[in-house]
Structure 1
Amino acid sequence: MNLKMLTELAVNGEVRELELLSLEGGFYIARVRLEHAELTLVDDVGKPMRIGSTTHLRDLLQRVPPFPCVLVQHCVHDEMCGVREGPIGALRVPFTLSTSF
């Protein structure tokens, strides 16, 4: 999914949620959840778009109608050290695309 397609889907109210996934190396990728699909936001050459921060995402989507967003970060320390028992879920922090706080 490119920015144009994301904009069209957001205008039509079809975007359920955007997950901004934190990856090793200090960048993020965006996964867009629709009713029956999840798609990765891609750049002009079709590769997953590397996003630097929530501010970078806000800049990219400043003309897109708002929709729910969540920052997703997996706890690598728990996975490596095995401190907890049972399934280890990701940290999910809701945020807004609005620049006015």
Structure 2
Amino acid sequence: MNLQELASEVGAGHIRELDLVSLEGGIYLLQARLDGKLMTLQDEHGESLRLRSTTHAREVLEHLPPLTCHLVQQVVHDEMCGLRDGEIEPLRLPFSSRSAW
């Protein structure tokens, strides 16, 4: 899904929530849930659109209506230590798609 398709799907009301996934190395990916599947936003070459920061993500999303967004991060301490039983869920924090100021 590219940015134009995302805007179209949001406008049609098919997407109401986005995840901004934080990866190692300071890279962020935007994911949208569409028809029960997670779709990663892609650039003009069909590659995953790599965002540099939460500010960069806000710049990309500024032309869209306000959406519910979550910043998603793995809990590194839990992954490293492995003390908990069962599946370890990522940390999901509310994130505003509008300016932080």
Q: TM-score, normalised by structure 1?
A: 0.90
State the Cα distance separating 1:12 from its structure 2 match. 1.3
Letter in 2 for 1:7: A
State the Cα distance separating 1:73 from its structure 2 match. 0.3
The 5 Å alignment of 1:78-97 reads 78-97=78-97
In the alignment, the residues of structure 2 paired with residue 57 and residue 72 of structure 1 have an alpha-carbon distance, to the nearest angstrom, of: 13
Q: Deviations over 1:31-82 (max 9, x none)?
A: 1112432211000100000011111011011111121110000012211211
Q: Is the 8 A contact 1:16 1:34 kept in 2?
A: no
Unaligned stretches of 5+ in structure 1? none
Unaligned stretches of 5+ in structure 2? none
In the alignment, the residues of structure 1 paired with residue 40 and residue 73 of structure 2 have an alpha-carbon distance, to the nearest angstrom, of: 16
In the alignment, the residues of structure 2 paired with residue 79 and residue 37 of structure 1 have an alpha-carbon distance, to the nearest angstrom, of: 25
- Paired residues, number: 101
Query: Percent same amino acid among aligned pairs?
Result: 48
In the alignment, the residues of structure 2 paired with residue 73 and residue 83 of structure 1 have an alpha-carbon distance, to the nearest angstrom, of: 18
Q: Classify the secondary structure of the residue corresponding to 1:49.
A: coil
Q: TM-score, normalised by structure 2?
A: 0.90
Q: Classify the secondary structure of the residue corresponding to 1:65.
A: coil
The 5 Å alignment of 1:5-84 reads 5-84=5-84
Cα RMSD of the aligned pairs, angstroms, is 1.5
Letter in 2 for 1:16: R
Q: Classify the secondary structure of the residue corresponding to 2:4.
A: helix
In the alignment, the residues of structure 2 paired with residue 36 and residue 88 of structure 1 have an alpha-carbon distance, to the nearest angstrom, of: 21
